[in-house]
Structure 1
Amino acid sequence: MSFRSTINTYFNNHAETSENHENTSLQTHYYKTTKDTGMQMLENLFIHSDGYEINSISKEHGEISVLMKKGKKAFIVATVIMVRPYYTAIDFSVTTESVLPFDFGYSTKVIQQLYQWINKDLSLITTRETS
């Protein structure tokens, strides 16, 4: 990870995963599951975790928006896309609400923690798309 990316991680209030992200912990994770199972698992995760409140669910678009109320306030959008049968991508976008225009890497840590929780329930295939 470059110096600029490291600085940007700490002095920004937003983090999101992507296919070819420079930070390997923020690369899209692919799981051996279906879209519906992935959506249901995320819904259950947020319902049963303290400090999270589901704002809306769009099963058609594969998106769940969540408000994080415990600790620092944050808005999370989780996206579940089935690339092919039993090969499903899960991405996150996290924006921290604060007085300052940066969160010292908190939004990145939230994404890393969410992936750790998901890895306990779903079978991780890879963090890179394979053709």
Structure 2
Amino acid sequence: MSIKQTIKKYFSNHSETSDNHLDTSLQTHYYKTTKDKALAKLEELYTKSQNYSIHSISKEHGEISLYYKKTFIIATIISVRPFNTAIDFSVTTESALPFDFGNSTRVIEQLYKQLNNELPYIETKR
């Protein structure tokens, strides 16, 4: 990552994942499961957890939105091929300041670490 991207990472209140993200911790993760099973697993994880509060679930669009402390999270589940599902996150920290010192990136890393233990992980880059 360049200096500009590192500064942007810490002085922004929003982070999201993508296939070709320069920060490897923010690259899309792929799992060996179906879209419906992945969505059900996410719903189960966040319903059981005391830290997360589910805001809404859209099974048709493969999205689940939730709150974690003062952070709003949107998880998007996309079926790429049979038993190859991508999960992306968009995280925004709500605060009085216009930046979160990298908190949104740390939340994404934590979410992926949690998912890697629950779903069969394939890869980050296609």
- In the TM superposition, what is the alpha-carbon distance from 1:50 to its structure 2 partner? 1.6
Distance in 2 separating the partners of 1:91 and 1:41: 15
Distance in 2 separating the partners of 1:32 and 1:89: 9
After superposition, give the CA deviation of every residue in 1:13-57 in whole Å (9 maximum; x if it has no partner).
000000100000100000000001100111111111122110000
- In the TM superposition, what is the alpha-carbon distance from 1:79 to its structure 2 partner? 0.3
3-state SS in 1 of match to 2:33: coil
TM-score, with structure 1 as normaliser: 0.94
3-state SS in 1 of match to 2:101: coil
Pairing 1:93–2:90 present: yes
Partner of 2:111: 114
Distance in 2 separating the partners of 1:7 and 1:36: 37
3-state SS in 2 of match to 1:36: helix
Partner of 2:8: 8
Distance in 1 separating the partners of 2:44 and 2:9: 29
Distance in 1 separating the partners of 2:50 and 2:16: 22
Distance in 1 separating the partners of 2:89 and 2:114: 13
Give % identity: 63
How many matched pairs? 126
Find runs of 4+ consecutive structure 1 residues off by over 6 angstroms.
Answer: none
Partner of 1:128: 125
Q: Aligned letter for 1:104?
A: F
Which aligned pairs between 1:28-107 and structure 2 lie closer than 5 A?
28-69=28-69, 73-107=70-104
Q: Aligned letter for 2:118?
A: D
Unaligned 5+ runs, structure 1: none
Unaligned 5+ runs, structure 2: none
Distance in 2 separating the partners of 1:67 and 1:126: 27
TM-score, with structure 2 as normaliser: 0.98
